[in-house]
């Protein structure tokens, strides 16, 4: 899934140590869509290396590719939006500019007349 918009908040990073003794780190961000009725969505990036690679800053326009995952804990469900790719607006707009046609209505193309007349109806029943 993908969402694009402007980063409106960068939540302080959280880190800790798992039960297995492995260190972990996650960073949450809030993106606001540019729709007619803008929506704010909080997503997270998990892993110190991925956080550094994304280097997301407040005020940037980005496109985020993500997965949604829910889990149950003590009878309550929690949902995470886990980002796996973050692209700056400049990068993804340049990549799509070559493939996007100029805006305007697109109508299907039909031939004016069929190449051959339709087959004559048969008196045979199909069943």
Per-residue pLDDT of the chain (127 residues; tens, 9 = 90+): 999 999 999 999 999 999 999 999 999 999 999 999 999 999 999 999 999 999 999 999 999 999 999 999 999 999 999 999 999 987 655 655 554 444 555 545 545 555 555 555 566 665 5
Exposed, middle or buried, 109 (CB in 10 Å: 0-12/13-18/19+)?
exposed
Q: What superfamily would CATH give domain 2-90?
A: Nucleic acid-binding proteins (2.40.50.140)
Domain extent listing, the chain? 2-90
Note the pLDDT of residue 90: 77
Note the pLDDT of residue 10: 97
Residue with the two structure tokens 């309550």: 76
Q: What is the pTM of this model?
A: 0.69
- Identify whether the C-beta of residue 32 lies closer than 8 Å to the C-beta of residue 117: no
């Amino acid at each position: 899934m993908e969402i694009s918009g402007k980063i409106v908040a960068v939540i302080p990073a959280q880190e800790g140590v798992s039960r297995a003794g492995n260190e972990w780190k996650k960073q949450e961000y809030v993106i606001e869509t540019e729709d007619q009725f803008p929506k704010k969505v909080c997503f997270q990036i998990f892993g110190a290396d991925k956080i550094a690679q994304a280097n997301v800053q407040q005020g940037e326009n980005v496109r985020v590719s993500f997965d949604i995952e829910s889990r149950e804990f003590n009878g309550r469900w929690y949902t995470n939006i886990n980002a796996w790719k973050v692209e700056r607006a400049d990068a993804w707009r340049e990549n799509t500019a070559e493939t996007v046609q100029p805006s305007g209505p697109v109508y299907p193309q039909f031939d004016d007349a069929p190449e051959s007349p339709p087959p004559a109806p048969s008196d045979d029943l199909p069943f």
